[in-house]
Chain A
Amino acid sequence: MFLITKKKQLNENTVQMTIKAPHVARRALPGQFIIFRTHEGGERIPLTIASYDRESGEVTLIFQTVGASTSILGAKQEGESILDFVGPLGQASEFENETRVAVIGGGLGCAIAWPQAKFLHESGVEVDMICGFRNKDAVILEEEMKNSCQNLVLMTDDGSYGEKGLVTQGLKKLIEGGAKYSRVIAIGPPVMMKFVAALTKEYGIPTTVSMNPIMIDGTGMCGGCRVRVGGEYKFACVDGPDFDGHAVDFDELILRNRMYAEQENHHREETCNLLKQG
């Protein structure tokens, strides 16, 4: 059993949760993920590691309570435990000889983009962050991100906070303004990553994207997380989750992520009703 040591509600449906898991904290690196299962009969769900503390043996996750399993996890309180917590899984992000990097986060993707920015910032790389949210209420981690880069551009779809517009517009403005990026890192909804990658391709900037496909085992066993990269299948769990944004087939990824949409809705409604009653 794995103890929940801290819990913080970041906004209406985004939760930050810290879990005691020394074996994961000991080896975790930016870009890696874990798989959790709350209870017997629960699903195995992958979540990217937001931060880790090797000394206290804790791992922090930031997730949206959008599905049944994340809703069950999100309803747990400090002091409660979950059944399974496996990791760190996947390849750690690799950055070499970066000079200036634009780290782009979309919505919840900011929770994963932030540790990458922090890691680069702390290694002396010049980092710009461009973070997009639906509206003011959806904004998370503003302080944390501000402290992990030289320049934070906050954007909202409706203009209710920061600049109005999409992250691609923010990125384009910076590039046209003369920013010379050695790399762009984009983490967020697949459709956002798709358009960021299309833009950076025009400018010839190497681009890393982080995949979050459907998975079960996280060790290369099921092949459910296959992503077409450069015309061949890669398993996001062992070959990724980071891939070359210019080689990923985003359309197929978007399609495959919808595979269980109907069943998920059903499970979520059931779970929400149960949680309300409880």
Chain B
Amino acid sequence: MKNMSPTRTPMKEAAPDIRNKNFSEVALGYTAEEAMTEAARCLGCKNHPCTDGCPVSVRIPEFLCLVAEGKFAEAYAVIRSTNSLPAVCGRVCPQETQCEGKCVRGIKGEPVAIGRLERFCADFARANATHGSLETKQEGPRVAVIGSGPAGLACAGDLAAAGCRVTVFEALHAAGGVLVYGIPEFRLPKSIVAHEVDNLRRAGVEFSCDTVIGRSMTVDELFADGYRAVFIGSGAGLPQFMNIPGEGLCGVYSANEYLTRVNLMKAYEENALTPIKRARRVAVIGGGNVAMDAARCAKRMGAEEVYIVYRRGEEEMPARREEIHHAKEEGIIFRLLTNPTAILDDGRGNVAGITVQKMELGEPDAGGRRRPVAIPGSEEDIAVEAVIEAVGTRPNPLLRMTTEGLTANRWGCIVVGEDGVTTEKDGVFAGGDAVTGAATVILAMGAGKAGAAAILDYIKNNP
């Protein structure tokens, strides 16, 4: 029986004034009944526009049909056959611009809640340990994957499934890349990332943490060591700063640093040794998902007033609508069309505030977004004790600095051929933010899968 309700089944969320004081997950997930009700909204379109909107081509109508029938383990297996990280994607994918954006039900009402249902299946599988018979022993060629973020994990998963002996090298002490250092616990619990990494381990993937390729070992040494191909998924972790006066003051963070202290190093836990400034008032500069994450973390770290300071309007914000909505619910104060021009000193080297300038939107720029223009004489100061800059990141230069034959463009992105993953160095492939600059988890996963396919081809053609 199809469910013809124009609106989607709501998902329970923790109350804003309670959740903004803890790091527990905000979105609580569907019950089995809710999942079946929502999945029954799928019309099972033969031409499946939703699948076409998915960077890793999850067979969406097929899995939704199984969910509607209550066959959750089977539904999970369908998702898992093309997506190695369903529990992650169900939580952090921008479904509204991908699968759900293409859903026919979205024309006259709300699209099917595909992301929530993907999450439901993954959570069901984790709770019921139906991760299938993934125990395998690989005997195929050895492949090195650099970086254990979404691109690396997706690539490793596909290579292992094809029988390759894969080693994933990670610079930090925990696997997951941006999933563990960047995205906060309340949006993506770290136990879920650890579970997905364990799934890959069970599938035969080896993880070598604490290993900085480029320093501990070079790419050429990997080949000398017997690896037949290398996939670079080192992400875009190099933070940018605005280059305004006062950025050297104590209390000024890159969002990367702030989020790493909170998420990876668990500075919010009582017994964690990693220090973090617990400011009463915090300004977060930027309008993307990272800015929302940083602002919501600052609130949970006890700040009374947290500002999002963004030079364009809300319409222009690159963050997901859902994240903006959650941030507002939690009491984050939005200062839009507002551009910081300086960070102020309290006279002892600490942040005392920021000077901002009002902006108005002018003509659209090359990217189609209207360019903000400063309104003369509109300067004012906002009193804050900490400033977090979430104004973008670039690929880390370490690999291109230490790998001969690898080329990068002027933004530091690794140059690849028409297939999007083959670099100019023989046997070396790259994908994700390291190639595109900062983008989304799912696009990186798509690139990881493309990288795996290209590597399998390469090994076949170069026996």
A residues less than 8 Å from B254 (CB atoms) = 222-224
Is B349 an interface residue when CB atoms closer than 8 A count as contact? yes
The CA-CA distance from A216 to B173 in the complex, in Å, is 11
The CA-CA distance from A224 to B349 in the complex, in Å, is 15
Does A87 contact B398, Cβ atoms closer than 8 Å? no
The CA-CA distance from A89 to B171 in the complex, in Å, is 11
Using A221-B396, A267-B275 as known contacts, say yes or no to A37 and B211 having CB atoms under 8 A apart: no
B residues less than 8 Å from A42 (CB atoms) = 273
Is B250 an interface residue when CB atoms closer than 8 A count as contact? yes
Is B261 an interface residue when CB atoms closer than 8 A count as contact? yes
Is B198 an interface residue when CB atoms closer than 8 A count as contact? no
Is B269 an interface residue when CB atoms closer than 8 A count as contact? yes
Does A219 contact B396, Cβ atoms closer than 8 Å? yes
A residues less than 8 Å from B173 (CB atoms) = 37, 44, 83-84, 86
A residues less than 8 Å from B266 (CB atoms) = 41
A-B interface pairs (CB < 8 A), number: 113
Could you give, for residues 215-253 of chain A, a 1 whenever the CB lies within 8 Å of some chain B CB and a 0 otherwise? 011111111101010000100001000000000010010
Q: Which of A140-148, A184-192, A258-266 contacts B (4 or more CB under 8 A)?
A: A258-266
Is B256 an interface residue when CB atoms closer than 8 A count as contact? yes
A residues less than 8 Å from B238 (CB atoms) = 220-221, 223
**B210: contacting residue among A85, A221, A224, A263, CB under 8 A:** A85
B residues less than 8 Å from A259 (CB atoms) = 250-251, 277
**A222: contacting residue among B212, B239, B269, CB under 8 A:** B239
B residues less than 8 Å from A222 (CB atoms) = 239, 254, 256-257, 260
Tell me how far the C-beta of A103 lies from the nearest C-beta in chain B, rounded to whole angstroms. Answer: 25
B residues less than 8 Å from A69 (CB atoms) = 273
Q: Which of A129-166 contact B (CB under 8 A)?
A: none
The CA-CA distance from A38 to B289 in the complex, in Å, is 33
Is B248 an interface residue when CB atoms closer than 8 A count as contact? yes
Number of B residues, CB within 8 Å of A: 41
Does A217 contact B260, Cβ atoms closer than 8 Å? yes
Does B257 contact A89, Cβ atoms closer than 8 Å? no
B residues less than 8 Å from A41 (CB atoms) = 266, 269, 271-273
Nearest chain B residue, comparing its CB with the CB of A271: B273
Main secondary structure of the interface of B (DSSP, over half): loop
Does A252 contact B248, Cβ atoms closer than 8 Å? yes
The CA-CA distance from A162 to B172 in the complex, in Å, is 44
A residues less than 8 Å from B181 (CB atoms) = 217, 221
Tell me how far the C-beta of B173 lies from the nearest C-beta in chain A, rounded to whole angstroms. Answer: 5
Nearest chain A residue, comparing its CB with the CB of B270: A41
Could you give, for residues 244-287 of chain B, a 1 whenever the CB lies within 8 Å of some chain A CB and a 0 otherwise? 00011111011011001100111001011111010000000000
- The 7 A-B residue pairs with the shortest CB-CB distance, nearest first, are A222-B257, A255-B349, A263-B275, A223-B254, A260-B275, A221-B237, A259-B250
Taking Cβ atoms with an 8 Å cutoff, the residues of B that contact A are 171-173, 181, 209-212, 215-217, 237-239, 241, 247-251, 253-254, 256-257, 260-261, 264-266, 269, 271-275, 277, 349, 396-398, 401
Beyond contacts A87-B216, A216-B261, A233-B241: 7 other A-B pairs, Cβ-Cβ < 8 A, are A41-B269, A43-B273, A219-B212, A219-B237, A223-B239, A260-B277, A267-B275
30 CB < 8 A contacts A-B: A23-B216, A24-B216, A27-B217, A44-B173, A69-B273, A83-B173, A84-B209, A85-B210, A86-B173, A87-B212, A87-B215, A89-B212, A216-B274, A220-B396, A221-B181, A221-B239, A222-B256, A223-B238, A223-B241, A223-B257, A224-B257, A226-B248, A233-B241, A255-B250, A256-B250, A258-B349, A259-B251, A259-B277, A260-B277, A264-B275
